[in-house]
Amino acid sequence: MQDIDTTSTQSLIDRYYEEEKAQREREQTLAALNMRLDANDLAMLNVIARRFRKTRDEVAQEVLSTALIDLFARVEAGERKLMARDADDAARSIADDIAEENGVATPEIKTGVWANHDRQITKLERKKAKQQEQEEAEKKQLQAALAAAGGGMTSTDTATSAEAPADAGDKNTTDNTAEEHERPAAAMSAGESGMTATAVTEEESDESEDDTAAPVSVFAG
């Protein structure tokens, strides 16, 4: 709780002291690392640091920290576990060397940092593998469903469906052919009927002429 004699503005000074102390302690746990960079890389590092009001060392430190995790995640699982164990074992001795160099007591540092990274990376890899398996299973199920939908008709139904248009075509052809055969026959029958009717008429006409040409004489005797 804030002291009644200390104003809110004055409490900012107390916070600044605490942040300065924490920063000093943190710096005492850091080791210097000399790097030589290409002019283009150094130029971009300067631009980013100036844009976000950070020092060049702060940006380089954070970039290197995240880059190491990315590199570590790319290592094979079995080798990654061994590397994590070696790094965690070495971190303690390195922290002691840094404290001795800075003339401070050995600070408390996080232990098992890289082993924890390994566990998180392994968890993500298993989750990703499981998702891929589920996607493959769903893909196979979809393919099976499509195959079942496309092959729902039996071979007999398929053959019948294929033959049905052909049968209809054959029937139409047969009907047309029968009609074509019937038409000449009908025409011939009509012709014969006409000829018969003409012959009968001619015979009747001849008989009529014979009756007219040879009348029976009433004086014959």
Q: Which residues contact residue 81 at a Cβ distance below 8 angstroms, ignoring those fewer than 6 apart?
A: 118
| Backbone φ/ψ region at 112: left (φ over 0), alpha (ψ -120 to 50), beta | left
Model confidence pLDDT, tens digit, residues 10-61 = 889 999 999 998 888 777 788 888 889 999 999 999 999 999 999 999 999 9
Greater confidence, 84 or 205?
84
Model confidence pLDDT, tens digit, residues 123-169 = 999 999 999 999 999 999 999 999 988 865 544 554 455 455 545 45
- Using only C-alpha atoms, what is the Rg of the chain? 56
What percent of the chain clears pLDDT 90, i.e. is strictly above it?
A: 44
Residue ranges of the domains in the chain?
Answer: 8-138
